[in-house]
């Protein structure tokens, strides 16, 4: 079939005409009849006259020297007889639909009406009509376009369920659908499971499926739970949402294990119900994971083959995976869930919620001086690596329904430039090995996990010099070898310094500079701390106030150290300032700001103990000191009791 709009003009040969042969000749003048000669003479005369007339008209200046007056016109003289019909065209009586007929917006025999149209009306040229493509549903012009493979903040379980309702509706427009709900059976998930069950009816109502039996059958639902084992709670998919909601509500929290084998659950339900994708009539299949942890079976050590095999299987079957989960803790593996015992006691239980990247890229260093709890538990707004990759590679979504209650929030318009690499483990490892700065950062971050850098003691009781020296001795013990751990990490980072300029990804740039700045700053603080303690122990200072009985170490802008340490302080500030300036509004900048606002030097401040302040202005015989000691003893015992209480398995 030709793609040309217009058919080619083909001239057919007339079989009655024979071509002129080589032996034939033209007729001679004597053989031309008299009528033909007369015809030639008359044609010549007509051509001459026509040339003369055309020249005259062209040379003549035509001027309009009078105006047409409306009263002088006879409208009847200019009307067309509407009874006259064309033989061809839009109004032809022939039983043929011409191109012009098909292009006409309406048919009319009133030619006078056509003449009275404005003369300046724009004329459009219609191409020959072809079969128009099917028009999309008008609903598509008013709905938000679905973007698969992303991480979205949806505002709690209710927001996640509304977003999933939209995804299910899109799937149903394509074909009938099976939705498989995989519910984490952990004790920490009990409240979220109930919230999901409560929203089932709302989801069906949004989809317009309640009360319509045929519509309900277009959406089937299956429910399973998982911990260290997977349990099918609907043996076969059901049509009634109330059955699925009841199955979710009846899940018993598994308090016997801390493991969540989510890949095992995904593979089991994929194998169980793959016939919905492989046999006619085929359905779309959506697997929805509801959890608050990252899962424990994505890898065997550093081998992520289980994850890649699962991704390949579901991609091949065309099953999309979605997750309603928590944001990963920034740069750490452990997040915390508050658990309430039956007697009302509460405890924070560590759970596996991070990190957001495949490889560690943040140093696990504490913040000296306290007051940084919100920075140690903050989230950057991304899900854990493995679950997020599973959702992205199968065309689903990772929906963040909960973030850390502590810590700052970050705009996703900024954080889009800092998202982790969700490539395969093999590609990520190749990229890290190809850049010395990346490799050094990963090694340093890995080593920091195995090092417990203590917070320094900053309060020292000093009723006399002997007590002060004893307290200083105890404080020096954990800090004596701190530089032994910090110096190797700095050496590692400096080995990758040459490739720092080759880092193009903003996330790696911020992480490398922050790591170097924090290591240098901590080394400066540790050096100064050990120096001031040694000086105080050797030559104790005298109190200026006779009521003082306590010395406190507080940060100072003055770094009393040698030239090498002062140079180290300057470099630390340069790295940290670069992070603040080049990566504003990010977790790296927040940590760098905290480091910069905490001075790196130390100075002594005198004061009094709490017990001494309680004794002021009171009768010396009143047992306030004993009461204070009793309160401290009670608190210590309460702390010991809580620590001895076994943590729940979540």
Overall average pLDDT of the 486-514 stretch = 96
Please give the pLDDT value at position 23.
38
- Is residue 45 in some structural domain? no
Residues 247 and 385 in one domain: yes
Q: Please check whether residue 484 lies inside any domain of the structure.
A: yes
Q: How far apart are CA 342 and CA 348, in angstroms?
A: 15
Domain annotation covers residue 42? no
Kindly state the average pLDDT of the residues 111-116: 44
What integer pLDDT is reported at residue 562 of this predicted model? Answer: 84
- State percent of the chain over pLDDT 70: 70
Q: Find which of 28-42, 249-263, 341-355, 606-620 is predicted with most confidence, using mean pLDDT.
A: 249-263
Calculate mean pLDDT across residues 221-239.
Answer: 95
pLDDT at 144 over 60: no
Burial code (b: 16+ CB inside 10 Å, e: under 16) for 203-229 equals bbebbebeeeeeebeebbbbbbbbbee
Residue 116 inside a domain? The answer is: no
Cα–Cα dist 535/553, whole Å = 13
Average pLDDT for 35-46: 66
Both tokens assigned to 438: 């990346």
pLDDT exceeds cutoff 80 at 164? yes
Interhelix angle 587-597/563-582, nearest 10 degrees? 140
Q: Residue 244: which pLDDT band, with cuts at 50, 70 and 90?
A: very high
pLDDT for residue 606: 94
**Mean pLDDT in residue range 365-373:** 80
Q: Which helix (H) or strand (E) holds 460?
A: strand 459-461
Q: In which domain, by residue range, is 172 found?
A: 143-327+381-402
Determine the pLDDT at residue 214.
Answer: 55
Question: Cα 160 to the chain's mean position, in Å?
Answer: 14
User: Does residue 440 sit in the same domain as residue 579?
Assistant: yes
Do 481 and 389 fall into the same domain?
no
CB 253 within 8 A of CB 186: yes
Domain match, 268 and 394 both = yes
Mean pLDDT of 106-120: 43
Q: What is the pLDDT of residue 255?
A: 80
- 385 and 443 fall within a common domain: no
Say which range, 99-113, 346-360, 578-592, has the weakest mean pLDDT.
99-113
Residue 396 in any domain: the answer is yes
Judge if 546 and 617 occupy the same domain: yes
pLDDT surpasses 50 at 351: yes
pLDDT value of position 509: 97
Q: What's the pLDDT band for 340 if we cut at 50, 70, 90? A: confident
Q: What is the mean pLDDT of residues 73-101?
A: 38
Residue 343: per-residue pLDDT: 73
Lowest mean pLDDT, pick from 198-207, 401-410, 552-561: 401-410
- 77 inside domain: no
Higher pLDDT, 202 or 589: 589
pLDDT band of 250, cuts 50, 70, 90: very high
pLDDT at 507 over 70: yes
Alpha-carbon Rg for the chain in angstroms: 43
Greater pLDDT, 186 or 92 = 186
DSSP state of 158: H
Regarding whether 318 and 202 lie in a shared domain, the answer is yes
CB-CB contact of 394 with 314 (8 Å): yes
Whether 1 is in a domain gets the answer no
Examine residue 33 and state whether it is found in any structural domain, yes or no: no
CATH number at residue 321: 3.40.50.410
Kindly tell me if the per-residue pLDDT of 84 is higher than 60.
Answer: no
User: What pLDDT band is residue 631 in, cutting at 50, 70 and 90?
Assistant: low
Q: How, if at all, do strands 334-340 and 346-352 pair?
A: antiparallel
Mean pLDDT, the chain, rounded, equals: 78
279 and 186 belong to one structural domain:
yes
pLDDT of the residue at 610? 64
Predicted local confidence at residue 486, as pLDDT = 93
Are 179 and 196 in contact, with CB atoms under 8 Å apart? Answer: no
Q: Using 50, 70 and 90 to split pLDDT, how confident is the model at 558? A: confident
> Is residue 316 domain-shared with residue 444, that is, in the same domain?
no
Task: Look at residue 355 in the predicted model and tell me its pLDDT.
Answer: 86
pLDDT score of 7 more than 60: no
Read off the pLDDT band of 632 (50, 70, 90). low
Best CA proximity match to 180, nearest among 254, 217, 233:
233
pTM listed for this prediction: 0.71
Do 310 and 386 share a domain, yes or no?
Answer: yes
Residues 421-451 pLDDT 10s: 999 999 999 999 999 999 999 999 999 988 8
Residue pLDDT, tens place only, 515-539: 999 999 999 999 999 999 999 999 9
Answer yes or no: do 516 and 387 share one domain. Answer: no
For 11-15, 131-135, 435-439, 494-498, which range has the lowest pLDDT when averaged over its residues? 11-15
As given in the structure block, the two tokens for residue 433 are 């090995």
Q: How many domains does the chain have?
A: 2
Q: CA 138 to CA 434: how far, in whole Å?
A: 50
Do 612 and 547 touch, CB atoms closer than 8 A?
yes
Q: Let me know whether 390 and 489 are in one domain.
A: no
Predicted confidence at residue 233, as pLDDT, reads 96
């Amino acid at each position: 079939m030709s793609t040309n709009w217009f058919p080619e003009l083909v001239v057919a040969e007339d079989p009655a005409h024979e071509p002129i042969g080589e032996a034939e000749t033209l007729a001679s003048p004597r053989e031309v009849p008299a009528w033909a000669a007369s015809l030639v003479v008359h044609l010549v005369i007509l051509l001459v006259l026509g040339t003369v007339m055309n020249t005259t008209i062209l040379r003549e200046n035509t001027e309009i020297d009078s105006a047409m007056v409306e009263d002088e016109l006879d409208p009847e003289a200019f009307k067309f007889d509407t009874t006259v019909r064309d033989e061809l065209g839009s109004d032809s009586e022939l039983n043929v639909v011409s191109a012009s007929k098909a292009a006409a917006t309406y048919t009319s025999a009133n030619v006078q009406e056509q003449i009275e149209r404005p003369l300046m009306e724009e004329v459009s040229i219609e191409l020959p009509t072809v079969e128009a493509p099917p028009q999309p549903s008008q609903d598509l012009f008013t709905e938000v376009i679905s973007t698969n493979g992303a991480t979205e903040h949806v505002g709690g379980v209710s927001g996640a369920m509304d977003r999933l309702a939209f995804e299910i509706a899109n799937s149903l427009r394509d074909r009938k659908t099976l939705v498989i709900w995989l519910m984490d059976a952990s004790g920490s998930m009990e409240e979220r499971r109930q919230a999901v069950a409560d929203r089932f009816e709302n989801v069906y109502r949004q989809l317009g499926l309640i009360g319509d039996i045929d519509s309900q059958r277009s959406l089937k639902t299956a429910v399973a739970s998982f911990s260290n084992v997977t349990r099918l709670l609907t043996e076969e998919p059901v049509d009634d949402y109330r059955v699925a909601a009841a199955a979710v509500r009846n899940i018993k929290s598994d308090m016997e294990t801390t493991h969540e084998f989510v890949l095992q659950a995904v593979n089991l339900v994929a194998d169980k119900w793959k016939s919905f994708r492989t046999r006619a009539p085929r359905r779309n299949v959506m697997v929805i994971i509801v959890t608050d942890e990252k899962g424990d079976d994505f890898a065997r050590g550093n081998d992520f083959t289980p994850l890649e095999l699962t991704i390949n299987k579901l991609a091949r079957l065309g099953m999309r995976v979605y997750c309603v989960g928590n944001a990963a803790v920034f740069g750490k593996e452990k997040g915390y869930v508050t658990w309430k015992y039956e007697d009302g006691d509460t405890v924070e239980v560590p759970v596996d919620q991070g990190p957001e990247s495949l490889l560690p890229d943040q140093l696990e260093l504490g913040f000296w001086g306290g007051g940084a709890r919100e920075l140690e538990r903050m989230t950057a707004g991304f899900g854990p690596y493995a679950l997020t990759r599973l959702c992205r590679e199968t065309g689903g979504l990772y929906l963040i329904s909960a973030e850390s209650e502590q810590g700052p929030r970050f705009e996703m318009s900024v954080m889009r430039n800092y998202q982790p690499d969700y490539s395969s483990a093999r590609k990520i490892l190749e990229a890290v090995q190809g850049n010395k700065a990346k490799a050094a950062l990963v090694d340093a971050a890995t080593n920091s996990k195995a090092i417990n850098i203590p917070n320094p003691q900053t309060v020292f009781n000093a009723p006399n010099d002997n007590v002060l020296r004893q307290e200083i001795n105890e404080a020096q013990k954990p800090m004596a070898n701190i530089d032994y751990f910090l110096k190797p990490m700095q050496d590692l980072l400096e080995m990758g310094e040459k490739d720092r300029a080759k880092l193009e990804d903003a996330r790696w740039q911020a992480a490398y500079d922050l790591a170097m700045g924090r290591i240098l700053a901590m080394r400066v603080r540790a050096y100064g701390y050990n120096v001031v303690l040694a000086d105080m122990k050797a030559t104790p200072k005298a109190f200026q106030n006779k009521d003082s009985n306590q010395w406190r170490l507080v940060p100072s802008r003055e770094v009393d150290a040698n030239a090498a340490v002062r140079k180290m302080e300057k470099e630390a500030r340069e790295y940290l300032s670069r992070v603040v300036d080049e990566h504003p509004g990010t977790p790296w900048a927040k940590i760098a700001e905290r480091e910069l606002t905490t001075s790196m030097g130390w100075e002594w401040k005198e004061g009094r103990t709490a017990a001494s302040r309680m004794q002021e202005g009171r009768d010396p015989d009143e047992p306030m000191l004993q009461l204070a000691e009793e309160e401290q003893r009670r608190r210590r015992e309460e702390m010991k009791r809580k620590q001895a209480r076994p943590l729940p398995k979540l």
